Structure 1
Amino acid sequence: MTPSKIEQATIETATDLKSIAQSPPVRDLSRLSLPEIDAVVEVTSQIIPAGNIPGMILNGLTRLSGQRLPQQTVQKHITALFSALDFLFDQVTSGAVLVAPAAVIWGYQNLLKLAGKDPESAFPEGIWQFYVDYALREDTARHVIETHGFETLLQQHHIRLSELDRLTAWVMAAISVLHQYDALLEIEWRERTATAILRELTRSLPNAARYARLYREWEIQRPYRRGAEAANYDYPDYRRIKFQHFLQDAMRSLPADLRAEWQRRMNEAERDLPAYQRQMSILAYLEPGQYGETRIPYNFEQAHVGLILRGNYYLLPVCAPESDQPLNAETVRAQLAALLALPAAQPAPLADLARIKRSALPNLFRKLSPAVVEELARLRFAPILINADTRPSHLPLTELRQAERGIGSHALTIF
């Protein structure tokens, strides 16, 4: 490191930023006092010593009307800060230095405060979502679930299934999840929101401690499979009914006016449910950029279940032909039987691509043949990949996760 250059960049950032922050246009817009402006400028220049870029962004923010910023503008500003810091660290270090996304986001929030903008509105899906798209993109655990539960349960009950039947069970489970995903998100949202509102409303009651741990109580008894009495319900409906009974028991002794207020707040919160479902939808793929990921949603009709079998990738439909209904088990079993009957083929490994830094993928794709790029693009529409090539359970997680798992643009891989 060359501290003098870092210090010089910090001083330049502070000087430039202060001259703009103390100008009449910014003073008129900012809700901060002059001492507060100076304090924010000082700490921002230390966290993001990006030369004149923070000042340019602040100057641009003052020209934008209203409190809310277009998302394209936010992305442009964040990218400019990353780029400037990258350039600085390239000048003062002999090796690559990772620019901390948290520092950039925090610094940008300070610029928004200086400009009198609403920091929260710049991140409508929450700062945590923005951080995930920037900071956790290289995490090998981000897209994977390792499980031995199904096989263990079969062994415990002395049930022997053929490879075909095991694969059919897994694919049908994935198809079912995709068809029920919005309903699963809805009940998850309802459980958390209902108990959170109740916890807030009962804080002053003598038995407030009970309601403070209500969600934990529900977690302990929440069903993860349908009971024998649930033949006429799917899992989301069954879980919803169980939660309603749980909540009714918990609220039975509460005053009527408190229950009415709880219902009013629930009705008001319900407006946020569609946005929650959109944000948390599994029907989206990640488009890698230089510094972060962009989530691209797609329609349910485009979705497939991906199967990794003997090192090769296959895409299976999730709906019956010309229908929005789930594919039935008999059809899935027949499709899988046809795959298993295929002669052994040369594996098409993608594990090396999954190990490449996400920021390098756009340039790499430009060097690949159009046919290869098209095949890789098709994988983006498989929100769930099932790696059916089992591996020993004693392997460490880091090694398990190095197996075939797509290239990291889809939502989930199951090992």
Structure 2
Amino acid sequence: MNEASETPRQALERSRQATIKAFRQVDDSTLVRLTRLTLPEIRAIQREVAQVLPAGNLPAFVLSGLVKLKGRRVSGEQAQRDVATLLRGISLLPQSLYGVFVAGPAAVLYAYQKLLQLSGKDLDSAFPQGTWQFYLQFGLREDTARHACETLGFHRDISTSADPLLEASAWLCAALEMLYSYDDLLAVDWCERVTLRLVLEEAARAEIGRRSPFATLIQDWNQARPYHGPPDDVDYFAHRRRVFQDFLREPLDTLPQAAREHFRRRRQACFAEELPAYQEQMSILAALVPDRYHEQKAPIPLWRAAVAFVWQGRTYLLPACQRDEKGSPLCYPSPGDETPVPLYALPDGTLCTADHCPLVVDRSGHVYCQEDGRRLGDLCPPTPEMVRGWVAAVFSARDLGPAPGLDLLLVESPRSLQPRLREQLPEATRAELDALRRAPIFLNWDVQSRQQPLAHIRRARRGIGDHALTIFRTDRGVVFDQSHVFFDGMWGMAVAEVMTGRAMCWRHRLLGQPKPPVLGMPVPLALNVTPEFESLAQAECYPGEAAAESGGVDMKALACLRRWLRQRGASLTVNDVLILYRFFHARWYRPSQEVRQAVADFGRRANTPAAREALQSIEETWARFQETNPALLIPMDASNISPRERVFPTTFRNPLTEIEQKYAAAQARHQAYRNSSSPGDWDAFDRARRELLAYLKAFGELLDALKAVTMRGESFNTASIRLLAHLPNSMQHLLDQVPQRIGILNEVLKGNEVFSNGGRVAPGSSLTRFISAKDDGETKALVWGVLTDDQDRMQISLRDFRPFVPPLLALGERTLVDLLAEDYLQSYVRGFNRFVADLGVLVAQEA
């Protein structure tokens, strides 16, 4: 067949066959010797690679290189080079393939893991910080890959009239404190999670794991964990460690003596071997350095770090440590010694004393002599008085006119283009960007309305995409926008609550202090651009997303339904019911009359080819979604199993599609019984209800089993879920839907929506809202975020990336895309409440 006349699918198949053919050039006997796999197993893996990465001879080329490496270990640097090679090759694929195949970072990394397997290499050595961390730096780079949450505690704590200077100073002090103490926060959280895991493992070995207090140990600590210090403002970490020690006393006393001793030996070994590496992996004292294909994490020495402060659209940098009048960082030899010693920078970027003694400064600011390890003192953040004076100077600065747009252009441009874009900038601007990337925390103090969705609030000035955390102020709360490279959802919310508590403490400490003297006038970053940069960046800027939020879930009705289901033998969690209804909603959704009218109005003004294509995309997307059984990517917090792994993602697509018919049949039988009240109609309804309940029970147990496989990383054992006793023959295929083993990258590939539920926050927490992140691939159309506050109010967020969103935004149709997202979410919430009420009637009905 002529290549010019073949269809995209034919071209894809030809490319896959070429990939398989290239694999045949690698010696089979060598692969068998290195892997101890059989030849059929090797062929199956080669076909799998060709399926996900049909890149001609490129996979075989990388495989040949791996085969030539001596030993089983592959360095992380080698893995990065190999993956970059594969990504570079993917960019050369014929454009005709892109209609039927999208090879994003997850597909490439998945294929690379298979190549490691084919070459007999050790996967752990290639991904020393875990597969998820490696994937994040390739596949969650863009601005949409950040998630956000909101706390209200600081504003609730303000009983007096607002004092902008006091409040900004409190948050800056909290941010500076976080830079110095972040390793301590990581350590205390890691120690709690690892300790509880080891205790539970010892209890299981002693065959007492199902007894109290072990059966609910993690849940109990989640409720007891303090995110704020006591009112007397003692050291927060000392307070938290003391609370944990008190909590741990009962479970340790319950363990047999031998188990306690074994636990202590294992914990000591874990602390020595694993904690330092985890702190390095998770530290926010690092900048993301964009390459064409991935992000490098470049450590930021604390003495060079800063906190960025945005005021009236302009960005100021507050150094993280005290300096003398010449700009040298100051080392304080001991607590109470008021005579600091200036330190000096060596050509290699390290510090030394005045007599050229090389120094080492750790992430907490402790200063050591490099030669003998002797501690010389500590770096210190600016004093509260210095911070207040600095803020007062910023607030009193004259109006400098319109703020520069460079930061917004950069943060909304693809990360792969960043090196090229930044090369277009003046040398002075590049120097400013180098200083800006040394600010791990941005504090945007330009107030925004809390009435907006989080996804809109976070699009204000937020740096250039190289840093870990941005904090936004609203009129009633504080929003934390977090890079997925540094934060996963649960950890990000924990950090947000801790920082809120620390800001509250700083506010109380600063309250009533005399007005500070205004220091020398801080100079904002100019961030000048060139016309070449502007034209290139504006052409590449991502247009954005649609977003909506709702707090309308009827939690009382949901609690009643779950209680009635338990009485009937079907145990479903809150998240189970939400996921179940997402299956119904995808099929049942019909646009509201308001949306239909808005789309019709758009159609009348769609007088360009781009507008007509956008209109067609709306109709096609509606039709396709009604025929789709959503594949939900569900991120599960891995920190209680292995903090290093961070997240275990799993994909769930409802295999019990017959449940819709069973639900409709039970409703029809119930209505017939209500109309007649005859014994025959009752019997028919009862049979229909029993069958529906069997499906609901199976649905809940399937999700339980999937969670167990995902969280433990173990093979699925049909005996481990209690399905066989009550499943009808028509449902036996359900067992085939549970994977034998969860692979992180395979799960990311399969999902077309993200469904992330942060659960119910701890008592006393002021967290209220949460939005999840979207990976950089093109398959995730919707991103759901769910959070329930400590007053049992559920907030659901939706980030909408359906195909019609970018073209509509490019046409200036922001109001329409947000209306489309709002309608979809509100229909989900209204329908969910109806579903819960109607199902509750069916379940609770008595004869």
Fold-level match, TM-score > 0.5?
A: yes
Deviations 1:80-105 (A, max 9, x none): 2112222225343479x753222211
Tell me how far apart the structure 2 counterparts of residues 61 and 194 of structure 1 sit (CA, whole Å).
38
Which amino acid is the alignment partner of residue 216 of structure 2?
R
SS at structure 1 position matched to 2:261: helix
Check the 8 A contact 1:148/1:393 in 2, yes or no.
no
Greater alpha carbon shift after TM alignment, 130-139 vs 197-206: 197-206
* Closer, same or farther: CA 394–137 of 1 in aligned 2, 3 Å: same
Alpha-carbon RMSD: 1.9
Tell me how far apart the structure 2 counterparts of residues 111 and 245 of structure 1 sit (CA, whole Å).
49
- Of 357, 364, 381, 1:326 maps to 381
* Closer, same or farther: CA 355–269 of 1 in aligned 2, 3 Å: same
* Closer, same or farther: CA 259–94 of 1 in aligned 2, 3 Å: closer
Residue 284 (structure 2) pairs with residue 227 (structure 1): no
Check the 8 A contact 1:291/1:359 in 2, yes or no.
yes
* Closer, same or farther: CA 392–383 of 1 in aligned 2, 3 Å: same
Tell me how far apart the structure 2 counterparts of residues 153 and 61 of structure 1 sit (CA, whole Å).
58
Deviations 1:325-378 (A, max 9, x none): 232211110111111111112323322221111111111111111111111121
Tell me how far apart the structure 1 counterparts of residues 148 and 435 of structure 2 sit (CA, whole Å).
19
Check the 8 A contact 1:307/1:387 in 2, yes or no.
yes
SS at structure 1 position matched to 2:26: helix
Which amino acid is the alignment partner of residue 220 of structure 1?
Q
* Closer, same or farther: CA 147–371 of 1 in aligned 2, 3 Å: farther
Tell me how far apart the structure 2 counterparts of residues 279 and 311 of structure 1 sit (CA, whole Å).
32
Residue 418 (structure 2) pairs with residue 413 (structure 1): no
Q: Structure 1 residue 139: deviation in Å?
A: 4.2
How many positions carry a matched residue from both structures?
Answer: 408
Which amino acid is the alignment partner of residue 255 of structure 1?
P
SS at structure 1 position matched to 2:292: coil
Q: Structure 1 residue 145: deviation in Å?
A: 4.9
Tell me how far apart the structure 1 counterparts of residues 147 and 385 of structure 2 sit (CA, whole Å).
29
Check the 8 A contact 2:76/2:125 in 1, yes or no.
no
SS at structure 1 position matched to 2:309: strand
Greater alpha carbon shift after TM alignment, 80-89 vs 358-367: 80-89
* Closer, same or farther: CA 27–381 of 1 in aligned 2, 3 Å: same
Provide the residue aligned with 2:117 in structure 1.
113
Check the 8 A contact 1:67/1:117 in 2, yes or no.
yes
Deviations 1:154-189 (A, max 9, x none): 1xxx22231111110110111111111111110011
Q: Structure 1 residue 15: deviation in Å?
A: 1.4
Unaligned runs of 5+ in 2: 1-6, 324-329, 332-378, 473-847
* Closer, same or farther: CA 292–403 of 1 in aligned 2, 3 Å: same
* Closer, same or farther: CA 160–391 of 1 in aligned 2, 3 Å: same
Give the fraction of aligned pairs with identical amino acids, expressed as a percent: 37
Tell me how far apart the structure 1 counterparts of residues 27 and 111 of structure 2 sit (CA, whole Å).
14
SS at structure 1 position matched to 2:91: helix
**TM-score, L = length of structure 1:** 0.93
Residue 428 (structure 2) pairs with residue 371 (structure 1): yes
Check the 8 A contact 1:318/1:327 in 2, yes or no.
yes
Mapping 1:376-395, distance limit 5 Å: 376-395=433-452
Tell me how far apart the structure 2 counterparts of residues 345 and 148 of structure 1 sit (CA, whole Å).
32
Q: Structure 1 residue 41: deviation in Å?
A: 0.9
Tell me how far apart the structure 2 counterparts of residues 106 and 92 of structure 1 sit (CA, whole Å).
19
Of Structure 1 and Structure 2, the greater helix share is in 1
Provide the residue aligned with 2:315 in structure 1.
313
Tell me how far apart the structure 1 counterparts of residues 27 and 42 of structure 2 sit (CA, whole Å).
7
Check the 8 A contact 1:138/1:358 in 2, yes or no.
yes
Provide the residue aligned with 2:404 in structure 1.
348
Check the 8 A contact 2:177/2:381 in 1, yes or no.
yes
Residue 451 (structure 2) pairs with residue 403 (structure 1): no
Provide the residue aligned with 1:8 in structure 2.
14
Check the 8 A contact 1:147/1:414 in 2, yes or no.
no
Tell me how far apart the structure 2 counterparts of residues 222 and 117 of structure 1 sit (CA, whole Å).
41
- Of 59, 70, 75, 1:70 maps to 75
Check the 8 A contact 2:442/2:462 in 1, yes or no.
yes
Unaligned runs of 5+ in 1: none
Q: Structure 1 residue 236: deviation in Å?
A: 1.5
Tell me how far apart the structure 2 counterparts of residues 83 and 161 of structure 1 sit (CA, whole Å).
53
Tell me how far apart the structure 2 counterparts of residues 384 and 41 of structure 1 sit (CA, whole Å).
45
SS at structure 2 position matched to 1:356: coil
- Of 394, 404, 409, 1:339 maps to 394
Mapping 1:140-219, distance limit 5 Å: 140=144, 142=146, 145-154=149-158, 158-204=159-205, 205-208=207-210, 210-219=213-222
Provide the residue aligned with 2:60 in structure 1.
55
Check the 8 A contact 1:282/1:383 in 2, yes or no.
yes
Provide the residue aligned with 2:25 in structure 1.
19
Q: Structure 1 residue 21: deviation in Å?
A: 5.0
SS at structure 1 position matched to 2:296: strand
* Closer, same or farther: CA 263–356 of 1 in aligned 2, 3 Å: same
**TM-score, L = length of structure 2:** 0.47
Deviations 1:203-243 (A, max 9, x none): 25235354253222111111111114x65x42112111111
Tell me how far apart the structure 1 counterparts of residues 104 and 36 of structure 2 sit (CA, whole Å).
28
Check the 8 A contact 1:141/1:401 in 2, yes or no.
no
* Closer, same or farther: CA 144–387 of 1 in aligned 2, 3 Å: farther
Tell me how far apart the structure 2 counterparts of residues 132 and 159 of structure 1 sit (CA, whole Å).
43
Deviations 1:237-261 (A, max 9, x none): 2111111111122211211111111
Provide the residue aligned with 1:35 in structure 2.
40
SS at structure 2 position matched to 1:180: helix
Of Structure 1 and Structure 2, the greater strand share is in 2
Q: Structure 1 residue 152: deviation in Å?
A: 3.1
Tell me how far apart the structure 1 counterparts of residues 77 and 281 of structure 2 sit (CA, whole Å).
17
